[in-house]
Amino acid sequence: MSVVRGRIAFVAENGPKTTRPRLMLLDGHSLAYRAFFALPAENFSTTTGQTTNAIYGFASMLANTLRDETPTHLAVAFDVSRKTWRSAEFAEYKANRSKTPDDFKGQVELIGELLDAMHVRRFAVDGFEADDVIATLATQAEAEGFEVLIVTGDRDSFQLVSDHVTVLYPMRGVSELARMTPSYVEEKYGVPPGIYPDVAAIRGDSSDNLPGVPGFGEKTAVKWISKFGSFDALLENADKITGKGGENFRAHIDSVRLNRRLTELVRDVELNARPDELTRQPYDREALNVVLDALEFRHQNFRDRLMAADPGVAEAEPAAPEAGVEVDGTVIGDGELAGWLAEHGAQPLGLATVDTWKLGTGSVAEVALAAAGGPAAWFDPAQLDEGDERAFAAWLADPDKPKTVHDAKGLFRVFGEHGWSLAGIGMDTALAAYLVQPGRRSFALDALTVEFLGRELEPAAAADDGQLALGADEQAEADALMRKARAVLDLGEAFGTRLDEVGAAELLHDMELPVSALLARMERAGIAADREHLQAMEQQFAGAVQQAVKEAHDAAGREFNLGSPKQLQEVLFGELNLPKTKKTKTGYTTDADALAWLAAQTTNELPVIMLRHREQSKLRSTVEGLIKTIAPDGRVHTTFSQTVAATGRLSSTDPNLQNVPVRTDEGRAIRRGFVVGEGYESLLTADYSQIELRVMAHLSEDEGLLEAFTSGEDLHDTVASQVFGVERSGVDAEMRRKIKAMSYGLAYGLSAFGLSGQLNIEAAEARKLMDQYFERFGGVRDYLRRVVDEARATGYTETILGRRRYLPDLTSDNRQRREMAERMALNAPIQGTAADIVKIAMLRVDEALRAAELRSRLLLQVHDEIVLELVPGEREQVEELVRREMAGAVQLRAPLDVSVGVGPDWESAAH
């Protein structure tokens, strides 16, 4: 089973798609109750006082399961009351359950209204539980050839699991489901699904108030059932069960029999509909919108997910599979590509590849090209003759031959390994999607094709043997890649309009695409690494970790696993009886903040030792990862991403160089492992001084803050003197620390509560500090208020270069979501503008190097810093060039200030 956190999708055991009807049955009460406790009630209520957390959680889960499981038939079952045939037979059945919370009351009825508007059949039968209704429908559906999915939090449903019936069981709230198949149930409980109620009868069920046999857990029950072959045989041979367990079993045999009767689900409840009558129907969208409006569910993403599952959408606009798009595919043979390009290459073509890239090297295995109207071509670059390869290379390099791609940077990078240049890219669908929807999670081509083209990228059926030069499997793969190229082309056309709508067309062509080409060259170049130095660092950290383990054991008075939160809790709060930290579901928290708090509350050394152990372990892991990524050429080739951070900042992976700490001695020592490469003289680093604060000063136009930047004095000392009303000479280290945290905090949307945590002061003191700051710098206060109000009105924030970030949660009724969106609205224009400036600076520096015909080159961009590798004799010219181009990237009211350093390694080049 594969659990994907954060969405309801379990791919590993889904199996192949089938044309069989698929019935999904939901236990309404069970799921609503789980949602009620998973989502804080105080964050979900209407202006009339109606709590809605259970409704929202249920509806969100329903939207996700409909999306992920695509049932053809659907129904929801509810309990009527606690009075059922089970409570009639056993008066104490579920008698231990507490009174229904007041905030939960009424929400089930409103869920019913929601389902009615969605035209979803719901069942509730007097005297029976929802599980009995589900068992009846599941049994009927299985007999009629359905595939059945049951979504419930009741483990009694496991007895229904079969090759055709799967239970989706919530593991946490209603956002994470486990797929209970026969193999999974047997693996987890030791018995097939049909035997599960036998085990449950012996074990008991505290949630239903069914007493179990003392001393008989699941494993013991499984053991004895397996020994005698069946539950009935176990009862007949109860006298043969040995020991105290046998005595307990015989003493409770009547309750076991009763439990077994109550645990068995009824499969013949009289219902007013059969499975084939539960076909999903189009929503009554008008009625559904009325319900959602009444519940004040205004979050657009939530409504979009719910509406996207409307089967009426599929009826109105059939979503054709990609195979339904006509592609006149040609598998290119010897000498054929040049002619195909001569015929089709002047028009825009979609380009798709199958390629590899690892440790700074790669190759292209397959290429597909597609033109509007159907013509497409596939070829293996290794099989091209000399004439075709020349024609392809010329077409790639021709800026007048328009190309649409998905992930231009990857193509720039891997084509360079073949000696091919790439020009004429008019559209990158991944970057375009990012500019249109920067906050989305996935920019994968298949997801975008479904969302924006209404079709899926599915492999074609294998061609008839002998149809073309390829075998059946290879022909299917070639067809799939050609359809992929066509999807890229069609997406490009769709995004052309979208980019114009959001004013991002210039950002794509003038910034993001050129940055892609530059990043590809930087990735291919990499940065030289000193393997011996890094290995020595790894051994140093490993020794520090072992020393910390020894010290921790000494402080605890015994050995324990430092990586086990449970064992650490036992030691800290049980055996050492240290002050309790924040209570969580799994005990008292032992995170870094909690350990730091404990260290201040007690003289016991263990919290400090644990902090050091975690720090050294993290450093060791960082260095181990760096060593593994050193390529055969002795260099580290990180991968930069332009589509991860919604603000426009670049990120890096494999390895993540932003993880290398810079403010600690150990982090700086790690940076010394990145060195100048052979044939080069030194490394040069350059970054902007206080760029976010300069952007904030520019956007706010606050005269006091602008004056602080132009005074020539230390910024934080100058601001502190004004806020605290003292001379600059009277600003002490603590004042400076508070103002620095305040200034950067405002740029990052920090609240008074967040500032109090950062400075370890009371929230009231933090609020007073913010008030003092705003008293002196009113322009900053007014700007921060204005930017949120404007974003709430327009739905988005914008950088000075027009990069938008959409924030639908600004109008959310969920206070936490709304406040988070407000913080994003505060920092997005500042962070986004800073990110744009760094990108412009990189492009200007690279262009100036080329124009001056210098051989020094850009290697890295990390946060606001760029790293270059200098050729002997070029240092002075490059340094002057870098300062000039970076300082002139944009014109701000608070001028950009650039710091430059040079040295034999990354750390020595710091400034």
pTM: 0.67
Would you place residue 238 in the very low, low, confident or very high pLDDT band (cuts 50, 70, 90)? low
Return the DSSP state at 883.
H
Q: Rounded distance, CA 779 to CA 785, Å?
A: 10
* CB neighbours of residue 657 within 10 Å: 23
Q: What is the pLDDT of residue 581?
A: 87
372-409 residue pLDDT tens: 988 999 999 999 999 999 999 999 999 999 999 999 99
* CB-based contacts of 740, cutoff 8 Å, min separation 6: 716
pLDDT, average across residues 854-869: 96
Tell me: pLDDT of 774 over 70.
yes
Q: What is the pLDDT of residue 527?
A: 97
Would you place residue 205 in the very low, low, confident or very high pLDDT band (cuts 50, 70, 90)? low
Q: Rounded distance, CA 752 to CA 561, Å?
A: 38
Q: Rounded distance, CA 203 to CA 188, Å?
A: 15
143-194 residue pLDDT tens: 999 999 999 888 888 888 888 999 998 876 556 788 888 888 777 776 777 6
Tell me: pLDDT of 17 over 60.
no
Token digits of residue 717: 């000392």
Mean pLDDT across the chain: 85
Distances (CA, A) of 631 to 357, 531, 795, 862, 869: 12, 11, 45, 20, 18
The number of angstroms, rounded, from the C-alpha of 242 to the middle of its chain's C-alpha atoms is: 53
Tell me: pLDDT of 858 over 90.
yes
Bridge partners of residue 528, in order along the sequence: 635, 675
69-82 residue pLDDT tens: 889 999 999 988 77
Contact 219, 204 (CB under 8 A): no
Q: Rounded distance, CA 277 to CA 76, Å?
A: 13
Would you place residue 886 in the very low, low, confident or very high pLDDT band (cuts 50, 70, 90)? very high
Contact 906, 867 (CB under 8 A): yes
506-533 residue pLDDT tens: 999 999 999 999 999 999 999 999 999 9
Tell me: pLDDT of 255 over 70.
no
Q: Rounded distance, CA 58 to CA 534, Å?
A: 51
Q: Where are the domains of the chain?
A: 22-187+266-297, 323-368+399-525, 538-631, 692-831
601-653 residue pLDDT tens: 999 999 999 999 999 988 998 999 999 999 999 999 999 999 988 889 999 99
Residue 380's identity, in one-letter code, is D
Helix axes 752-759, 733-747, angle to 10 degrees: 140
3-state secondary structure of 899: strand
pLDDT, average across residues 323-352: 87
Contact 410, 357 (CB under 8 A): yes
Helix axes 28-38, 130-143, angle to 10 degrees: 120
State the burial class of residue 873 (Cβ atoms within 10 Å of its Cβ: 0-12, 13-18, 19+): exposed
Contact 390, 478 (CB under 8 A): no
Q: Which of 697, 605, 689 is nearest to 894 (CA)?
A: 697
Q: Rounded distance, CA 762 to CA 765, Å?
A: 5
Backbone angles phi, psi at 168, to 5 degrees: -100, 105
Q: Which of 206, 195, 215, 202 is nearest to 257 (CA)?
A: 202
Class of domain 323-368+399-525: alpha beta
Tell me: pLDDT of 90 over 70.
no
Under CATH, which architecture does the 538-631 domain have? Up-down Bundle (1.20)
Residue 835's identity, in one-letter code, is A
Under CATH, which architecture does the 692-831 domain have? Orthogonal Bundle (1.10)
Reply yes or no: is the peptide bond before residue 655 cis, omega within 30 of 0. Answer: yes
Q: Rounded distance, CA 790 to CA 809, Å?
A: 14
Q: What is the pLDDT of residue 584?
A: 67
* CB-based contacts of 479, cutoff 8 Å, min separation 6: 327, 329, 378, 459, 460, 463
Contact 512, 428 (CB under 8 A): yes
Q: Rounded distance, CA 628 to CA 633, Å?
A: 13
Class of domain 22-187+266-297: alpha beta
Tell me: pLDDT of 586 over 70.
no
Tally: H helices and E strands in the chain:
36, 25
Task: Check the CA dihedral 358-362-366-369 and report its sign.
Answer: positive
Q: What is the pLDDT of residue 14?
A: 42
Would you place residue 267 in the very low, low, confident or very high pLDDT band (cuts 50, 70, 90)? confident
